[in-house]
Amino acid sequence: MSDRDALLHAIAARPEEDTPRLMYADWLEENGEPERADFVRTQVYLAQPGLPSGDKPALVKRNVFYLTQWVREWQAQLPPFAGIEWGDFNRGLIEEVRAINEAPIVNHAAEVFAVPGIHILRLWRLTDGTLFRSNGGRALALVPELERLRVLRIIAGASASAVAALLDSPHLRNLTALDLLGSSADDSTAAALADGRFPHLAELNLGGTRIGSAGALALVRSPHLDGLQRLDLGGNWHMDAGARSALKAKFGKRVKL
């Protein structure tokens, strides 16, 4: 494995850490890409908490320069795939991939996740498995590259069966955020989420779904969700007053109802 490949592997394995990115910046500078090296360092430093106020203006100015003069060229180096859109640069790298549905990810997973910073997947929908179509959740669940994901968002909806099949994936255990807003997630979905399959989950959005009192109480009774920092159940009208009270008692200000 080359030095570059080792650095990219380290970034992929620990996307939340700054050190591998700064080491990659050093490699870029040593290998004839000083502008990109400086861009990575600039965005990493800008994102750090506690940045001295006196340092910020110069960093912001440099960041704007690279965003206007260089980013388009770097974006053009990314592989183009039908149905896929690349996200913005954050901390020097592209971190998010957006897809019209699961098919482009299933078909191009190796190439998509070869982009080193990718750890966020945003899907418009999952194929629901009805009318002779395959279950998109089941197809996506088989993709081993999902181990890279820390954040998964399905933003336009998915059937309960497609969601269930996807959440059964053995490759999603590293998720820290899951967004199923507006999907058909139901009480069985809540029970699955309560069973400890996502030990690092800190953000869970189940707003506007079909979760009722039974699902809410499954979340309340779970010993595996104490690490949740944000739980959104807004717009779920099937929960009774007792379930709502139990959610507030368990999660306090961390839950939105």
For residue range 39-87, list pLDDT tens digits in order.
999 999 999 998 888 889 999 999 999 999 999 999 999 999 999 999 9
Q: What is the pLDDT of residue 129?
A: 62
Q: Is the pLDDT of residue 132 over 50?
A: no
Residues whose CB is less than 8 angstroms from the CB of residue 100 and which lie 6 or more positions away in sequence, other chains included: 83, 84, 123, 124, 125
Mean pLDDT confidence for 224-246? 95
Q: What is the pLDDT of residue 225?
A: 95
Chain centroid to CA 14: how far? 14
Residue with the bigger pLDDT between 6 and 129: it is: 6
Q: What is the pLDDT of residue 127?
A: 85
Average pLDDT score over the chain = 93
Tokens of 66: 């690279």
3-state secondary structure 151-179: EEEECCCCCHHHHHHHHCCCCCCCCCEEE
- The structure tokens 């069966």 sit at 161
Question: What residue ranges do the domains of the chain occupy?
Answer: 3-73, 80-256
Q: How far is CA 252 from CA 49, 174, 230, 255, in A?
A: 26, 25, 10, 6
Question: Which residue type sits at 158?
Answer: A
pLDDT tens figures, 168-210: 999 999 999 999 999 999 999 999 999 999 999 999 999 999 9
Residue 9 pLDDT grade (very low, low, confident, very high; cuts 50, 70, 90)? confident
Q: What is the pLDDT of residue 26?
A: 96
Q: Is the pLDDT of residue 134 over 80?
A: no
The phi and psi torsions of 179 (rounded to 5 degrees) equal -120, 110
Q: What is the pLDDT of residue 130?
A: 56
Residue with the bigger pLDDT between 125 and 216: it is: 216
Residue 38 pLDDT grade (very low, low, confident, very high; cuts 50, 70, 90)? very high
Q: What is the pLDDT of residue 133?
A: 58
pLDDT tens figures, 140-152: 999 999 999 999 9
Residue 14 pLDDT grade (very low, low, confident, very high; cuts 50, 70, 90)? confident
Residue 213 pLDDT grade (very low, low, confident, very high; cuts 50, 70, 90)? very high
Q: Which CATH number fits domain 80-256: 3.80.10.10, 3.40.50.1820, 3.80.30.10, 1.50.10.10?
A: 3.80.10.10
Mean pLDDT confidence for 103-118? 93
Q: What is the pLDDT of residue 123?
A: 96
Written as one string, the DSSP assignment of the chain is --HHHHHHHHHHH-TT-SHHHHHHHHHHHHTT-HHHHHHHHHHHHHHSTT--TTTHHHHHHHHHHHHHHTHHHHHHTSPP-TTEEE--EETTEE-EEEESSHHHHHHHHHHHTTSTT--EEEES---B--TT--BHHHHHHT-GGGGG-SEEEE-S---HHHHHHHHT-TT-TT-SEEE-TTS---HHHHHHHTTTS-TT--EEE-TTS---HHHHHHHHH-TT-TT-SEEE-TT-TT--HHHHHHHHHHHGGGEE-
Mean pLDDT confidence for 4-18? 86
Mean pLDDT confidence for 234-238? 91
